Amino acid sequence: MGKKRIIQKTKEELIKERENIDTKVQKEIKVETLAKTKEGKIYVSSTYNNTILTLTDNQGNVLYWTSAGTIGFKGTKKGTPFAASKVAEAMASAAKKLGIEKVQVFIKGIGSGRDSALRSLAARDLNIISIKDKTPIPHNGCRPPKARRV
């Protein structure tokens, strides 16, 4: 099976990685979409395969969105909590650059990135007003198959 190797990153590599994320965020933020209000809504959609965050104003107009795929994760790594936390960091920095201070967070889905995305948003000094879980729940499920006749 082989030895497991743990890769230790130096401070310079970590700083360079942070700058790469910030430059990707800067490229995607348009100057004309700057928010006039200081409040917004963040929608976290977490599936088994990906984590997508969308930042909107109070009317629902999309100001910025990002996902684990746009950050640079590929394949099954997009659904991990680590990828979700990196996506949330990019979203928090984009919200700061847009001038948004207060956010409402709406979480949808059953992926493993739900909690880590929310924790990363809270750790980035965004003032979270409310957190709502919008995951759809079936009331009675789909119709069962008819009884088998032998």
What's the pLDDT tens digit per position in 95-131? 999 899 899 999 999 988 899 999 999 998 889 999 9
Going by C-alpha positions, the residue among 136, 130, 46 that lies closest to residue 88 is 46
Helices (H), the chain: 11-28, 68-71, 81-98, 114-123
Residue with tokens 């930042």: 55
Architecture of the CATH domain 42-131: 2-Layer Sandwich (3.30)
Which residues, in sequence order, are CB contacts of 37 under 8 Å at separation 6+? 57, 58, 100
What's the pLDDT tens digit per position in 59-97? 889 999 999 999 999 999 999 999 999 999 999 999 999
Structure token pair of residue 60: 């629902």
**How many whole angstroms separate alpha carbon 40 and alpha carbon 20?**
25
**How many whole angstroms separate alpha carbon 116 and alpha carbon 88?**
8
Domain limits, the chain: 42-131
